[in-house]
Amino acid sequence: MRNVIVVVVVVLATALHASAWLLLHERVSPPNANGTLASVSFSPINPAKNGEVEGTTEAQIRSDLAAIAPYTRSVRTYSVGNGLDLVPALASEYGLRVTLGIWINEWEQQNEKEIETAIALTKHYRNIEGIIVGNETIFRAQALHRDDPLYTSNEAVRELIAKIQRVKREVSIPVTTAEVPNVWLEHPELASAVDYLAVHILPYWEGMSGSLAVDHAVDVYDRLRQAYPGKRIVIAEFGWPSAGLNRKDAVPSPLTQATVIRDFITRADAMGIDYSIVEAFDQPWKTFEGSVGPYWGIFDADRNPKFAFAGAVEAPNFLLKVIAALAIGVLLSIPIFAIPRVAAAQAAVLALTAQAFGAWSANVVDYWVTHYFVLGSQIALFAGAALLVPLIMIMKQRVEELAAIIFGAKPGRLLAPGSALPERPPLVSIHIPACREPPEMLRQTLDSVAQLDWPNLECVVVINNTPDPSMWSPIEDHCRLLGPRFKFVRADRLQGFKAGALRLALEHTAPEAEIIGVLDADYVVHPHWLKDLVGAFADPAVGLVQAPQDHREAGRSITQAVMNREYAGFFDIGMVQRNEVNAIVAHGTMCLIRRQALLDAGGWSSDTIVEDTDLGLTLLERGWRAHYTKARYGWGLLPCDFAAYKRQRHRWAYGGMQLIKKHWRAFLPGRSRLTPQQRGQYLFGWLTWLGAESLGVLIAILNLIWMPPVAFLGIAVPEAVLTLPVLATFVVMLLHFMVLYRTRVQAPIFASLGAALSAMALQLTVGRAVADGVIRGELPFVRTAKGGAARWSDRFPALWEAVLGSLLLLGSLTLHLTNDQQVDEISIFSAVLLVQSLPFLAAVGIALIERSPLNAFATWRRFVTLSTYLPRLPRGPAPTAGPPASGGIGIVP
């Protein structure tokens, strides 16, 4: 029945996806352009030559002319050099007339050669109907000197007129030059020197929408007619690109290109306007003309027509793209069938997410197929897509977790607290390692252990590497005071960090002890801790029982509160989900371990600086079962300040990298007793934590490097297919965080936001830890300073976060301010940099608040607008709070 539900859901999601494509499918019916075009711009350049016209062969020119001959009556060239002098002769074979172009630049010797060749060709070929001396020569000169306020184009105009007059003296056909409208209007002397005006009207460069393009062209044509009545006017360039970046309201697309050109042709023919369409073929090498440079052709680079000149027009490759999107979506939906007890709503969310990823994948492939790439852009696209793949996997995993918690089955493996004692209570040995810990804090921990409601108990306290007698002598005295159940062990030169201390504690453990409990030195435990949880070990397959970490100083300050909320998320969300497939992460406090399982796993290992997680994973690899409870039985102290909080997270993340190096073989088939679900939880856990944060830092740094060429040169603008997923990932992360904190942690909205900022603030810390794990050797165990007032140093704890966050914020602002043409992709890129700055700025904000009066709750209570919320701010549970709900030990159904 479950599979039937999943099948129905996947089919419905696929149908909904297909319907969305059909609704968004564009199909246009512009006016039919009957007959042939008046003229097209012709550049027979082989894409393989990367723009070098040299080597253009007679065969290639003939082939290209044959391709366009059925569509046009004439062709316009821009030069007679580098093989283009063959065009008139070959065009005559297809009955095509030619408007010959003479390319004018700053090299007079080359100009002279062009002029002489054109004159000679005109005397030999009767199909040459006109000569254009120079292409936007004055406009290009003005652009070159645009920053010179003293420059005038008068001298350039005089030089160009001299060249025009020279050609006119030698030929008997019309001679002109091609310029933009403003040049013609500003220089009537140039208009007087030519036989007709050849004007370039390209509405795309004016930032006009396609719907206004033809009206604009006609309006410009009319203004020139009014300025020069009786003068023949030819629109020597009109066109629209089929791809590239928008320019204000001008959006390139295949459908817009077809619509604009067909509409223009019919209007021009009806009004008797002579014209030339730019251009015949796409020119992939024209990247110097911006993103649209390669896409002005009415034929693609393979000489295939881009659109028909009659009938309806639809987006190219539409059907193939839809089929690919749906197929990928269905393939990504297959794992839904493996989810036990999957709910219909849960399956629906997952299926729709899979279809969304299918749509994105199809668009990436379509972008690759429909665009031209030079080597640099190929590398950029592949590198960007490669970085996005794990990012999208992370987003998908978060959506799956969100769906499982909101719509899926309720947790079924959580241990229920109970009060029934076993018939023969096993001896539990509590191990407390301590290194340079405050004696008063450790005494509180020992007192709470002494009050445990368990008849068969011992406690081994190991003070290691603490030479100051004032820090260990009071603990020795206190153990003596508490009685023979408390064993005091001191080691001055102990190796192996915390794992070494725990190994020493095991050596001093009573031989008959069956269960080992581990506590950090700052933890105060509830009397029912053992009474409620030890019963789980009645199952001989159980090797580990873990209770969550919590803290008793969460109400001391704002920063302490948000830190505590951030910790709570993992224990109330992640650990609960992992527990469902027996894949929890062991923590070195509030955990109970079967002694036999500990010995079977090889004991506490110093191979990593996260000996607790290392042991927990080893237990699972060896087939032991672990249990988890959400009930709080112990409360420790939070890191004393933000710097200590970061150091602790660096140690955990670096230790995570050590775990990957140590245990990766166990994730191979047949190399351990890990189930597929356990492997998946650990792998995706590492990916969504270590991978997400390190990728976030890496992509942010790469985008910072990428930003200047985009902002100041207008090149290498990242496409939306590469930037939108970054924004989508952020939105999913925020939604995942806020919804699950409200659902599982039951945190108020402001507390959830604070926890989100606290988690984001650790991005650079985790990213650096991952980098250290990759490139650096073994780092030492760093003890986390806990409790008491913040111990500030002169060094600002978020210095590098401030640098990166400021640069990203400045980059985002720079992109916004320099985006004069309102390019959508640049706006998206600006938004990406803004979003990427938030984790770093969150760290800066927390570090600043920590050192200001705003860190005190009393300050905030003075604000009347927050008076209704602040009394509910978390203060941390008191260690003497009442016991959890009683009842028999067992699994919550």
Crossing angle for the helix pair 558-569 and 824-850, to the nearest 10 degrees? 120
178 DSSP assignment: E
595 touches 518 (CB < 8 A): no
CA 499 to chain centre: 38
Peptide bond before residue 825 is cis, with ω within 30 degrees of 0: no
In angstroms, the CA 7 to CA 337 distance is 8
Q: Are strands 542-546 and 625-628 parallel, antiparallel or unpaired?
A: parallel
Element spanning 591, H or E: strand 591-594
User: Three-state DSSP class for 515?
Assistant: strand
What is the β-pairing status of strands 634-635 and 542-546? unpaired
User: Which pLDDT does position 343 carry in this prediction?
Assistant: 94
Segment (H or E) for 313: strand 313-314
CB 523 within 8 A of CB 602: no
Position 144 scores a pLDDT of 85
Q: With both helix axes pointing from N to C terminus, report the angle between 558-569 and 749-760 in degrees, rounded to the nearest 10.
A: 80
CATH of domain 27-314: 3.20.20.80
Residue 654 tokens read as 């670096």
* 340 exposure class (CB count in 10 Å sphere: 0-12, 13-18, 19+): exposed
Reduced 3-state DSSP string for 265-279: HHHHHHHCCEEEECC
Residues ≥6 apart with Cβ < 8 Å to 278: 40, 41, 200, 202, 237, 238, 239, 296
Residue partners of 148: CB distance under 8 A and separation at least 6: none
Name the amino acid, one letter, at 109: Q
Whose tokens are 């994730």? That residue is: 667
Q: What is the CATH number of domain 424-641?
A: 3.90.550.10
- Is residue 518 within a helix (H) or strand (E), and if so which, with residue range? strand 515-518
User: Which residue type is seen at 310?
Assistant: A
* 390 residue type, one letter: P
Yes or no: say if 779 and 772 are a contact pair by the CB < 8 Å rule.
yes
Note the pLDDT of residue 311.
96
Among the listed residues 573, 629, 566, 608, the one whose alpha carbon sits nearest the alpha carbon of residue 761:
566
Q: How many helices (H) and strands (E) does the chain have?
A: 30, 21
Exposure string for 582-615, b = 16+ CB within 10 A, e = fewer: bbbbbbbbbbbbbbebbeebeebbbbbbbbbbbb
- Give 317's DSSP letter: T
Q: Specify the pLDDT at position 382.
A: 87
Q: What is the CA radius of gyration of the chain?
A: 37
Q: What is the DSSP string of 120-131?
A: HHHHH-TTEEEE
Pairing of strands 524-525, 634-635: antiparallel
- Residues in the chain predicted with pLDDT less than 50, given as ranges, are 48-53, 864, 866-867, 869-871, 873-893
Query: Is there a contact between 770 and 620 (Cβ–Cβ < 8 Å)?
Result: no
Q: What dihedral angle (degrees, nearest 10) is formed by the CA atoms of 390, 393, 398, 399?
A: 150
CB atoms within 10 A of CB 471: 17
Specify the pLDDT at position 795: 86
**Rounded-to-integer distance, Cα 839 and Cα 801, Å:** 8
Are 734 and 402 in contact by the 8 Å Cβ rule? The answer is no
- Tallying the residues shown for the chain, one arrives at 893
One-character DSSP codes across 577-590: HHHTTT-PPP-SSS
| Integer Cα distance of 84 and 269 in angstroms | 29
Whether the Cβ atoms of residue 510 and residue 427 lie closer than 8 Å to each other = yes
Q: Which pLDDT belongs to residue 888?
A: 36
Longest dimension (CA), the chain: 120
Tell me if 650 sits within 8 A of 783, measured CB to CB. Answer: no
Name the phi and psi angles at 634, rounded to 5. Answer: -155, 150
**Looking at residue 189, what is its pLDDT?**
98
Burial per residue of 221-251, b for 16 or more beta-carbon CB atoms within 10 angstroms, e otherwise: beebeeebeeeebbbbbbbbbbbbbbbeebb
